[in-house]
Amino acid sequence: MVPALRIAGVTKRFGTTRALAGIDLEVAQGEFFGLLGPNGAGKTTLISALAGLVRPDSGRLEVMGHDVQADYRQARLKLGVVPQELVFDPFFSVRQTLRIQSGYYGIRRNDDWIDEILANLDLAGKAEANMRSLSGGMKRRVLVAQALVHKPPVIVLDEPTAGVDVELRQGLWRFIRRLNGEGHSIVLTTHYLEEAETQCGRIAMMKAGRIVALDSTGNLLRRFGDGTTNLEDAFMRVMKEAA
């Protein structure tokens, strides 16, 4: 079985800044995987490279066996990315936005799935609302919905719950866990380390463009803790030791 993601020897510089310093990583199909690191660690650059938005200087990236550069169309079809930035078209309603997003993937008449996404993300009552009228938390949920309209087998969530209140955050995780249970591979970046500890079976920690720790969540807690350590404590110790 091919991995959901395969990243081999990926490097990227922006001028004198080394954003990625030789990343090697595989995420298995069906994994719920955490990608953690401080601001500037390279997480968003790596995600952008997977999505084909940034061209690496060297190395290879694959989504479900499809090379991100050589087989971009198939790689993009297999991937859904929830970006960190709030990017939206202010002239359309929520439903129109999701229909347009579906069209980018050649999908038509998928209103049943759109309705299911809206219901699970607590957006059903806003389906006909203009995007301009939504709160920041609502707009972030629309970004999640956009990433899911084509039912990608690999879903990357880049800070998906930033600005989302606790109740709606819980609803989002129920839906994401359900998709994971149905076989979707999930990659999560978050600054809410308790979310990563609860959701992720395996975690990679990045610093300065490198992976400095990679193991199951339980093993990371055992390696960098004393039996009572939480993931935040383990993370801080890894970052200190990687200095």
Asked if 109 and 65 sit in the same domain, the reply is no
Same domain membership, residue 158 and residue 241: yes
Please identify, among 151, 185, 207, the residue that sits at the C-terminal boundary of a domain: 151
Phi/psi for 114 (5° steps) reads -60, -45
**pLDDT for the residue numbered 10:** 98
Residue ranges making up the domain that contains 215 = 1-78+153-243
pLDDT score recorded for residue 170:
84
Res 36: pLDDT: 96
Pairwise CA distance, residues 108 & 17, whole Å: 43
Instruction: Enter the pTM of the model.
Output: 0.92
Residues 72 and 163 reside in one and the same domain? yes
Say whether both 70 and 115 belong to one domain: no
d(CA 142, CA 132): 12
The answer on 241 and 190 residing in a single domain is yes
Low-confidence ranges of the chain (pLDDT < 70): 226-228
pLDDT of residue 228: 62
Distances (CA, A) of 34 to 15, 110, 129: 28, 30, 33
Say if residue 158 is in the same domain as residue 235. Answer: yes
Are both 225 and 115 inside the same structural domain? no
- Examine the domain organization and report whether 46 and 147 are in the same domain: no
Give CA–CA dist 224/234, Å, rounded.
5
List phi, psi (to 5°) of 163: 80, 10
The reported pLDDT for the residue numbered 60 is 97
Residues 61 and 172 grouped into a single domain: yes
Question: Based on the domain organization, do 14 and 90 belong to the same domain?
Answer: no
**Of the candidates 109, 120, 179, 189, the residue with the CA atom closest to the CA atom of residue 157:** 189
At which residue do the structure tokens 């991100």 appear? Answer: 68
pLDDT, one tens digit per residue, over 45-80 is 999 999 999 999 999 999 999 999 999 999 999 999
* Domain identity same for 99 and 132: yes
